Each structure stands twice: as C-alpha cells, then as structure tokens.
Amino acid sequence: MRLKALLAIFLSIGLALILNQKIGDVPPLGKFLNPFTGFWKNAESLTSKEHQSFTVKKIKNSVEVFYDDQHIPHITAEDDYDLYFAQGYITAKDRLWQMDFQTRYASGRLAEVVGAKAIPLDRYQRRMGMMFGAKNMLAESMKDPISRLILEAYADGVNAYIASLSPADYPLEFKLMDYAPEPWQPINSALLLKLMSATLAGSTDELYMTNVLKTHGKEVADNLFPNYPVREDPVIPRGTPWSFTPVTGAKATADQLDTRQQKVSSSSMSLIDQNTLLTGDKEEGLGSNNWAISSARSSTGYPMLANDPHLSLTLPSIWYQIQLQPPHTNSCGVSIPGAPCVIIGFNERIAWGVTNVGSDVLDWYQITFKDEKRDFYLVDDQWKKTVKKIEKINVRSGTAVFDTVYYTHHGPISVDAEPLDNENNLTSKIPRGAALKWVAHLPSNDLRTFYELNRAKNYDDYRKALLFFTAPAQNFVFADNQNNIAITPNGYFPLKSPEHGKFILDGKYSENDWSDRIPAEQNPSVKNPPRGFVSSANQSPVDESYPYYLNWEFAPYDRGHRINERLTKLEHATVDSLRLLQLDNRSVLADEILDTLISAIQSAVSLTGADREVLTLLGDWNHCYEAKSIAATIFERWYQKIESELWGKWFDKKTAKMRYPNRDRTVALLLDEPNSVWYGAQKSDDIDARATLLTKALREAIQELKEKHGTFGKNWEWGTVNKRQVLHLANIDGLGSAKFPVNGAGRTVNAIREKSGPSWRMIVALGERPKAYGILPGGSSGNPGSRYYDNQLKDWIQGGLKELLFLTDEEGDANDRIVSKITLLN
Amino acid sequence: MKMFIVLCVTVFAVQLFLPWWTIIPTSVIISYLFDKQPWKAFVICFLAIYCVWTLYSLYLSYLNGHLLANRITTLFGLPASSFNWIWMALISGMPGGIVAGFAGLSAQYLKKAF
C-alpha cells in the first residue's frame, strides 16, 4: 500500500512538474489552461466599463485617464513627470508584451526566452551594433534635462505597472512563452527608435552594387544605376531656390572614390559573398505617404494634413493611439509603444506627420587587418587599434554562447565568416571583414523633437523642433491653423561627394570616412510653395540643384508622382477627398508602359488567339489594383517576368549577388531604347529582340498563373491571388487576423503589400479646433483576448476612417464618447 | 457527493489566491478526510477539479464572447471556427483533473497503509 501511495503521489507531482514546463513550443499546460492564472484570465469581459483607481508612488498629483469608445486613452496630468509616467503606465497596461519582445528583439536577447533558434538573429542584432547605437543615443539624451525627465518618468510608469502584476495578470504571450516581464529601463525606449532606424534606414545595396561594378564595369554601372533617378518628382518642388551658402568638406572627391572603389571591387570579395549576416534588401512599398494642402485648396478655409506610414502590419499594432494633456499643450495621435510623446499627430494649432527619407546613411568599409588577431587595422599607412567586444548571448536552456565583435572607428565588423564556435576558428582564412558606418550609431536626442512638436504652436516652433532629429531621417510634413504648410526632409545627412557609399568603400583611406554633416538648417525645406501643397512618398527630397549629395536611388517615382498629379487637380478638398487619395490604387507604371508593351508585341506573328484575348483584357484595364481586377494580376506578373527576363541573365541575384537596375531605369529602357543590347538578341536576324522578350515574358506569366491558380477566371482576381493577413508580431498562429482580399499594391499610393502597408492612416483638418480622423489595421489593445485587439481592422480593410476624439482640458468624462476612467493616485 | 462538493468549494477558494499546483495538497488532504475506495477517490478528485476548471473557464469565456478561446484553439492547430471555444473549455479541465486524481488516490492508499 505504501508503495502504491508513493507511486500515486509521485505520478501526481511528476505530472504537475511536467505540466508546469514549456516543452518545445507547447506552453506549460497546467499553468496555461487553468482558469485562475492561465490564458483564460486574459479573456477580457466584453462589458467591463467600470472606473478603476490605482495607487502609484512616484507621481506628484493624481492623474486621470479617460478611455473612449475605441479604448484610446486620453491622459490629463498636471506636470510633465506625471504625464509621461502615466503614458508609460497606460501603454504598458495595453502593450507590455510587445514592448518587452521588441526591445529583446532589438538588443539581441530573444534566445533568452525563445531558445537556441534565435541565436543567429541575436548575433545579427549585436553585430549590427543595435545596443551600441542605443547606448550612444541614451548617453546624449540624458545630457538634456527634458529628455532625461521624460525617459525616466516613462520608465517609472512602466515599472509601476509591472510591479502591480501577479503572474496571473501577465499578458497572454508571457504565459505562452513562459517567462516574466523584466523592469523597464530608459535604454529600452532608445532601442525602439533604433529598431525604426533598422527598418527604415538599415537596408544596403553596396555589396550588390560592388559586384555589378566588378562584373560590368563603370560605364554600365553609370548607365543602368545612375546617380540621380531617371524620372523624379522630388519632395521639394523643382526650381525651389536654396537660400543658403553651402559648406564644403566632403573629403573624398568623386575621382578619388572612383579609383578607391575599383580597388575594393577587385579585392577578395568572396569573403563577403559567403556571408549570411547581411542587412535586408531594399524593399519597395516600405515607405509612406504624407501631404498637406493649403487653405486655398481646401473646403474649410484652413490647411489639411494627411499621413500614412507604411510599415510591417502586425498585431498588436505597431502604433498606440493616445492623447496627452499636460499643461500648456494638448497633443493627440499615435505613439510608439515603449517611447514617450506622440510621434505622428496634432495639437490645438498644428499637425505633423512623417515619411522615410531614403538618404544614404549606412556604409561599409573594407578593412585591412594587420594579422589574424585583428588587433590593428590600416588607415593612411598607420595601424589603428580595434576595440573588441565580447557578446554573451544567454540561451533559455541556461547555456550561453559568446561572440567577439571587433569595432573600428567606423563601427562594428558586422560581416565576417567566423563561426560562432571559437574552437573552429576560421579567421586565418579570412583576414578582412567590412566595418559598418551607420547613422543609427551616432549620439542623438531624437525624442526631444517629438516633445517639442507636441508643444509647437507655429512654423518656427516646428523648425526648431526638427533640429534635434538625427535618424531615421524623415520628411516632416507640417500644417498649422495660421495657414502655413511646409515639408522638411530632415535628419543627419553625412556630407558626401557623389557616389560616396554607393559601393563598398576602402577603409585604408581616411578620406573615405564620413567627416561632417550637412548643416541641419541647410536640410532641404519648403514653406507655402506656390502650388498650394507639399507632399512626400519616399522619393528624392530634392532636384539636381541641391548642392549636396544625398543618395543615388530613392523609392521609385510612382507614388510620389501620382500623389502630386492628384493634388494638383484638387480644389475645395474635404477630408473625404484626402481619404480617397490615400486609397488610390492607380498604377503609374501601367499608365506609362502598358500601351507601349501591348503595341510592341501586337504585330508579333507568333501570338495565339489566347494571347490576343489577354492583350485585349489588359488594354481595357483601368490601371487600378482593385481586389476584383484580373488584369492587375496579369500585368503584375507580366512585369515581374519582363524584369527577370531582361535582367536575370546579366545581373544574377543568387550566385553572383548582384541586383537589377531599378524600375525607373527599366521603364526608361523599355520606352526609349527599343534596340538596346540588354534585350539580348540571340541572332542577327532577331530584328525585334524587345518584342521577343516581351512575348516570352507574357507567356511565362500566363503559364505560371495557370499552374498556381487554375484556368483563367475569378481565382485570378488580384485580391484572391494576393490575400493579405495581419500576422501576430511573433507569428503565433491564431493570434493574427484571418486572410482577406483588399485593394492596393506596393507601387500604388495605397501601398498594401504581403506583410506591410498603411500602419496608420491619419487626416487632420486644421481650424479653430482641429478635426481629425485615423485608423489602425488592428486596435488599441495588445491583448488577443480583448475586443479592442483588432476592432479597427474591418474598417481599415474597407478604407474607412474613425473620427478621433480630441478632448479639451475641461471636458473629461463629460464627453459622451468616454466610456471608462482610470485614476492614478499618488 | 459530499467529498465532491467540499473539494469543489475548497479548490475554488484556494485557487483564487495560490498557484494551480496547490490542487495537489488540497486533494490529498480532503481525500484523506473521507473514506473512499481508491479508484472512487481518483474519480471524485478528477471530476471535482475538472468541473471547477471547466465551468470557471466557460464562465470567463462567456463573458469574453469566446474571442480568446477561439484564437487559442487555432493556436493549438484546429481549423478556425467560432465554436472552437467548446473544445478549449473541455480540454482545460484535463491537466488539473488528472493531477488531482492521482493526489486523491495517494491519500486513500496512504490511509490504508497506516
């Protein structure tokens, strides 16, 4: 009997121990399934609207937080500390897991919670110097009493919320992954801004471009990859005069760079080819739109402003809507969960928004080490010392892996083929790696820009606020209720001579280094241009008359051009006219080339009846990427096939690691160079190589569509072929959205792509008091068990907007859209 | 029946404050206080904890409009459906039930051994 008793109790305890553990990806079932502490606790009641109050220690006065019918918090506090404390507290209440996960992701600490599978990613983030950049930013920000105050207050608020939690209250994902939140530090806010830099200013083509140069020579590189876009409709309208005297100081002249680059391109490139630690490809559509129209174009007599930043679409949403009401200001819009202030929004008098500037702020330097110890590297015939940093990556299993990262004066050697295991070290075979110079590593105080914009009263305040901003450079659009509109491509732009950083740079020569920046007040800017609107869509900020070099390539012409084309015709605009422009699905590419493509192959003898039917369908198409359009699907596939047929054999992406010329250049070739050698005429009697190529591409496109989607018909519709889905941030099944068909494509104004798109659509009509509208592809809450997790998604898909509640100081819960209230008591 | 009711009430009260595994000592003690055949003790403990967990789950899920339970079943690999919450509630009582069952069983053997 004793044996049986022992056996039974062992079984009971043993099972409990097993069910208390996460095994593989299965959560600890005992903990997870029990309704007292497990996931059921996160199933929020649909009807709970009660008013709550919590006592927190550090605030000076009580803070009131009103939630509206969209669960958007409106915070009223009496001073800055209390305000940002409350912002931290309230944001954590909705988004704690997202904040924790994103900072772990940024700092290379995911393996601690998800295990060994995250080691390569963690190693990558550390080798990109994410923490290095965040530390530099924090050190600089902490010198500024205001930035220090808001960062510390925010962290105190988050920590007060974390301290109030028992494990039963943890957000769902902590329970799924079986770990606990850790205290929040100001550096985490810096890491989140670094993450924005990584997303928006972290792409690089230098390796591909260097391989292009090496394979095809300078003439081809210049012709197919020109230093200013072939077609451009720049952010600052052409012909706007520059009212400053440019400084000089870009060290390397174009000629010097030329010879240096040739040297690098002929040196041992294989070392970089082997590598897997590369930053992402430039991704089209991962940009944004913004514009402001003057009172002359609007129906209200005041300016209007619109912004839709295109980022990864995830649940929880990237942005967190909030209104902040400290004394002397009242700002509203979206914030980054994990950082203080409103990032995109408006206050009583002004509105502002941002889109990314694709300036070249990330360069690679080929480093010549003295020997395999890599203690010294060569610069101007002198040996400079590297700084070694040992990165310890803790793994969930309790083990740790170590990685040595070498820092030069540029930045870390991100790229080398050294294995993680130092016993097997292959460094003898790899004497050199490339060092990363990146604007995201520079000391900066970017949050101060948003603190100032939140309080800005007029154009001058806006201009002053921008001086604090470093990275990722943004087109800051502005409108106020004193009838001003403006736009400023703004950030830290290194002073570069043309082509500086287009290819991998040789680190042996200090004249290749970044020396200084374009003076912040000489960053391009325009106020109240005669055309009555300002706009940006990630295209080149300037025309060729700007005295400084920013980059050789920007986002393609299409979106920017389309927006300007429509704004030029806009009169008596209402909020709805701007909404319809945000939803514009017209393909500028089709406008420009489709007729030429069709007529180029129309006369080809080899066309079959079926081919001609397809051409008729394309000819009748309205050039809009609507979910119901079959022509859109065919055109898109055809164009992709044209690009790969045209460039694939010359610029092999996979083995030779090259890239294709960009779309603008491709379009120019298709339209203006019908006899170009690049069509690859095989025989001398192949008189129309272009038509041959286009026909082949069309056939392949049709064949591929048939294979993937069956015979021609409804299942070829754009929305059916390209069903979209908003995935969970950690890609956990069930926590993302269902799949849905939707209008729009990466190259249209409504830039919805497979995984990215308008992460926030906002329109503000300025006036005595502003009236604003906005929508998220998700919701306010980060809890998958809340109805506010994705309650805005349906309207977002349909292109709707919701009026944003903008409380006045006195109003509080007297407003009938307020449904509940939280009071933080001191 | 008496043991079942006593167990349900006690487990519910204890669980509101203490971690889930406290169902082990709770089941051992309550089972010890009653004279039952070992297999009956197993069944009663299993059913009591299973019922408390499942019914409380159902209650929370009802208040939530079953939003979360339907998501979690998708996470566990079931095709999406708006009735999946039923499965989630039915599974939820299992771990607690089995652990408590063996705990209750051990108490009866222990009693007989001394």
Say what the pLDDT of residue A686 is: 62
**Residue B52 main-chain phi, psi, to 5 deg:** -60, -50
The mean pLDDT of A783-801, rounded to a whole number, is: 97
Residue A810: pLDDT over 90 = no
- Give the per-residue pLDDT at A266: 43
Query: Rounded distance, CA B61 to CA B64, Å?
Result: 5
Closest CA to A311 of A343, A340, A346: A343
In B, minimum Cα distance to A25 occurs at B76
Please state the rounded mean pLDDT for residues A338-355. Answer: 97
In this prediction, residues A691-717 reach a mean pLDDT of 94
- Residue A298 pairs with which residues in a beta bridge? A573
Identify the band that residue A24 occupies on the pLDDT scale cut at 50, 70 and 90.
confident
Assigned token pair, A491: 């950030």
Banded model confidence at residue A286, pLDDT cuts 50, 70, 90 = low
- pLDDT value at residue A563: 98
What value does the mean pLDDT take over residues A358-385? 92
What mean pLDDT do residues A316-326 have?
95
Distances (CA, A) of A562 to A485, A598, A674: 20, 22, 26
Say yes or no: A42 contacts chain B, CB-CB below 8 A: yes
| CB contact residues (below 8 A), chain A span 787-806, against chain B | 787, 789
Q: Which residue of A has its CA nearest to B54?
A: A35
> Which pLDDT value is given to residue A683?
61
Q: How far apart (Å, rounded) are the C-alpha atoms in residues A191 and A105? A: 9
Residues in chain B: 114
Please, which residues have CB within 8 angstroms of residue A421's CB and are 6 or more apart in sequence?
none
**Least CB-CB distance to A735: which of B64, B71, B96?**
B71
Lowest mean pLDDT among A222-231, A390-399, A562-571, B104-113: B104-113
Query: What is each CA distance from A747 to A283, A365, A395, A478, A559, in whole angstroms?
Result: 11, 32, 41, 25, 6
For A670-695, how does the pLDDT look when each residue is reduced to its tens digit (9 = 90+)? 999 988 999 986 665 566 889 999 99
DSSP letter at A372 equals: T
Cβ contact A12–B68 (<8 Å): no
Task: Give the rounded percent of residues in chain A with a pLDDT score beyond 90.
Answer: 76
Band (A263; pLDDT cuts 50, 70, 90): low
For the segment B50-76, what is each residue's pLDDT rounded down to a tens digit? 999 999 999 999 999 999 999 999 998
User: Using CB atoms, which residue from B15, B74, B105 is nearest to A8?
Assistant: B105
- Cα separation values, A651 from A19, A263, A428, A648, Å: 54, 21, 31, 5
Q: Indicate the helix (H) or strand (E) that contains A52.
A: strand A52-55
Least confident window among A120-124, A735-739, B58-62: A120-124
So what's the pLDDT on residue A684? Answer: 56
Burial (Cβ within 10 Å: 0-12, 13-18, ≥19) of residue A244: exposed
Q: What is the DSSP letter of A608?
A: -
Residue from A359, A760, A356 nearest A559 by CA: A356
Nearest CB to A37: which of B19, B71, B72? B19
- Is the peptide bond preceding residue A770 cis, with omega within 30 degrees of 0? no
pLDDT band at A427; cut points 50, 70, 90: very low
Rounded distance between C-alpha atoms, residue A774 and residue A307, angstroms:
9
Residue A426 has pLDDT above 50, yes or no: no
What's the average model confidence in pLDDT over A382-396?
96
How confident is the model at residue B111, as a pLDDT?
A: 83
Mean pLDDT, residues A95-114 taken together: 96
Around Cβ A98, how many Cβ atoms within 10 Å?
24
Confidence of residue A669 (pLDDT cuts 50, 70, 90): very high
> Is B67 within 8 Å of chain A by CB?
yes
| Residue A484 clears pLDDT 90, i.e. is over it | yes
Among the partner residues A5, A42, A44, nearest to B109 by beta-carbon distance: A5
Cα-based angle A467, A472, A475 (whole degrees, multiple of 5) = 65
pLDDT of residue A181: 97
Is the pLDDT confidence value at A352 over 50? yes
Q: Which helix (H) or strand (E) holds A819?
A: strand A818-825
Determine contact, residues A444/A419, Cβ cutoff 8 Å: no
Of chain B residues 84-113, which have a CB less than 8 A from chain A? 91-92, 94-96, 98-103, 105-107, 109-110, 112-113
- Average pLDDT of chain A is 90
pLDDT at residue number A264: 52
Selected residue with higher pLDDT from A253 and B83: B83
Residue type, B20: W
**Statement: residue A723 has pLDDT above 60:** yes
Positive or negative CA dihedral for A784, A194, A462, A145?
A: positive
Q: Identify whether A472 is preceded by a cis peptide bond (ω within 30 of 0).
A: yes
Q: In this complex, is the C-beta atom of A34 within 8 Å of any C-beta atom belonging to chain B?
A: yes
Predicted local distance difference test score (pLDDT) of residue A275: 34
Is A695 strand, coil or helix?
A: helix
Do the Cβ atoms of A12 and B69 come within 8 Å? Answer: no
From A5, A15, A45, residue closest to B106, measured CB to CB: A5
pLDDT higher than threshold 50 for residue A112: yes
With CB atoms and an 8 Å threshold, state whether A39 touches B68.
yes
Which of B28, B65, B96 is opposite residue A46, by nearest beta carbon?
B65
Q: Which chain B residue has the Cα nearest residue A19?
A: B95
A432 pLDDT tier (thresholds 50, 70, 90): very low
Position with higher pLDDT, A616 vs A263: A616
Closest chain A C-alpha to B32 CA, distance in angstroms: 12
Q: Is A657 left (phi over 0), alpha (psi -120 to 50) or beta?
A: left
Which uninterrupted H or E stretch holds A414? strand A413-415
Residue A21 near chain B (CB below 8 Å): no
Average pLDDT, chain B: 92
The kind and range of the H/E element at A310 are strand A304-312
Which residues sit opposite A494 in a β-bridge? A517
The verdict on A45 touching B (C-beta cutoff 8 Å) is yes
Interface check for B79 against chain A (CB to CB < 8 A): the answer is no
pLDDT surpassing 70 at residue A259: no
Share of chain A above pLDDT 70, in %: 92
